[in-house]
Amino acid sequence: MRRTWLAALAVTVGAAAVASGISQMATAGIPSRSQAGAPSRSPLRWGACPGPTGAALRCARLAVPLDYRHPDGRTIDVEVSRLASTKPAERRGVLLLNPGGPGLPGLPVPALMKLPKKVRDRYDVIGFDPRGVGHSTPLTCGFTRAQGEVAANPPTPGNAADVAEQAATAKRLATQCTRSKTADLLPYITTANTARDMDRIRAALGVPKISYYGESYGTYLGAVYTTLFPHRGDRIVLDSSLPPEGYDAEALRSQGAGFETRFPDFAKFAAATPRQYHLGSTPAAVREKYFQLAARLDNKPVHGYEGTTFRVVTAAMMRADSDLAGLAAIWHALDTNQPPPGAGDVGGGAYSDNYPAAYLGVICGDSRWPTALTTYQHNVAVDRVRYPMYGAFAATIRPCAFWPAPVEPKVKITDRGPSGVLMVQNLRDPATPLSGALRTRRALGERARMVTVDQGGHVTYLSGPNACGNDAVTDYLVTGKRPAHDRYCSAQPATP
């Protein structure tokens, strides 16, 4: 989670191109348009939105095929929101947003994400809950709160026996999902199908092209869309990119390296005021404190924080500079056996397992994960040494190891199509490290330009003070002006 708007979002849960387009659709294992039929152009009926989405938003429901290989068969509903431009004379089109996840609802995002006014004036801003999420035919695995937490964040293994024990739990969770009341949806809750839904949304809106801003997992969704429908994307912004294979086992493992790259920023921050946070007066001392706390909490939890919770909360809060002070306060509370700030809010209210169910549905349905226990035991042993802070957690076995095989081949991201993609990426991103983004940049070739920003944290646009990075995105969305070549933005300190 990052920014205030994403915290709020968490509460609502937690022509010459035709040949190219048909070729990409065949690669994705679905019929050509002549077989599948044109997307529906039925007008959307805008009305009140379900749930707390903001008074300015209007919402509509769109029926889309469950299985695009059989477009005249069963349909499911996708809920769409619109924040209309306040200056229709300046409006140039629509801008779809996706906040990532996967599994995060997107319906309230147009109201929650504080886009610059000049961007808002140029677009009707469109949000949507991806299929299987929120109000869009939601998935469930029937998880209890405890099961949902383990499904998303399994215990950090200390040895091979721990991985074997976790495998038994992961298998039970996978079986529960594939036998749930929405199990018949699971094969079709994929990134490729969500991209196809986006094109149905485009057609229903009555526009020939869509602009798009996606962050984190949303970058993979955007890359898949512009691969399947290369001439229906206008200005495409990918912020904090996954590798071109998407969110698979190796992308998750890469967070071990990302954590190590980002942690020095937090260590420097905490060490700068040792009398306030009491975590050490040098970055090395703060790093040592991490290992001390993780080991102690593995052995004996404090106020609901055990070792894995500590690691996951640290990783999540390092995603934004604005959260570093809060993270240091949590560490200090745990170190002194006090309730961490906000601990009383954890676990309150009614529980829905939609987030972990949809998260698993997408990451397990998109990719074939390793199935051999020994593979995970080996990866954990290697990554515990290479990336001792977070590597074992990121490498351990998950329910995807016991998931049915994907129903269609993965979309291959390529450089075929118009040049209209802008990538932005932080140097020290703990969740989607730079190495994976560079591979996506190479896969897109001349279709893309990339702006790399010397700052830490996950998500670049509007998340930090770097005017070079922020302006690159705003200028592209407003004017269509994109850097002629890949660009590097030097570090810019926060204003007092």
Place of tokens 């290992």: 291
Q: Is 56 strand, coil or helix?
A: coil
Residue 347: predicted pLDDT: 54
Give the span between the Cα atoms of 45 and 203, in whole angstroms: 14
What is d(CA 172, CA 168) in angstroms, rounded to the nearest whole number?
A: 6
pLDDT of amino acid 178: 97
Q: Please tell me the distance from the alpha carbon of residue 441 to that of residue 131, in angstroms, as a whole number.
A: 27
| pTM confidence score | 0.92
| Mean per-residue pLDDT of the chain | 91
Q: Work out the pLDDT band at 56, boundaries 50, 70, 90.
A: confident
Question: What pLDDT band is residue 492 in, cutting at 50, 70 and 90?
Answer: confident
Alpha helices in 236-323 (DSSP H): 249-271, 274-277, 283-299, 307-317
What is the per-residue pLDDT across 311-325, written as a single tens digit (0 to 9) for each? 999 999 999 999 999
Rounded CA-CA distance 458/443 in Å is 22
Question: What is the C-alpha separation between 313 and 293, in angstroms, rounded?
Answer: 13
Residues that are catalytic: 216, 429, 458
pLDDT of 36: 41
Spatial contact of 102 and 363, defined as CB atoms under 8 Å apart: yes
Closest C-alpha to 482, from 437, 423, 442: 423
Band of pLDDT at residue 350, cut at 50, 70 and 90: confident
Q: Give the pLDDT confidence score for residue 391 in this predicted structure.
A: 98
pLDDT tens column, 417-436: 999 999 999 999 999 999 99
**pLDDT at site 42:** 54
pLDDT of the residue at 493:
72
What Cα–Cα distance (Å) separates residue 171 from each residue in 147, 149, 262, 325, 392? 12, 15, 33, 38, 19
Kindly report, residue by residue over 391-405, the tens digit of the pLDDT. Answer: 999 999 999 999 999
Domains and CATH numbers, the chain: 3-136+191-248+415-489 (3.40.50.1820)
Mean pLDDT of 236-249: 98
Give the model confidence (pLDDT) of 163-213 as tens digits.
999 999 999 999 999 999 999 999 999 999 999 999 999 999 999 999 999
Instruction: Answer whether residue 73 shows pLDDT above 90.
Output: yes
d(CA 118, CA 369): 43
pLDDT band at 28 (very low <50, low <70, confident <90, very high): very low
Helical (H) or strand (E) element with 238: strand 233-239
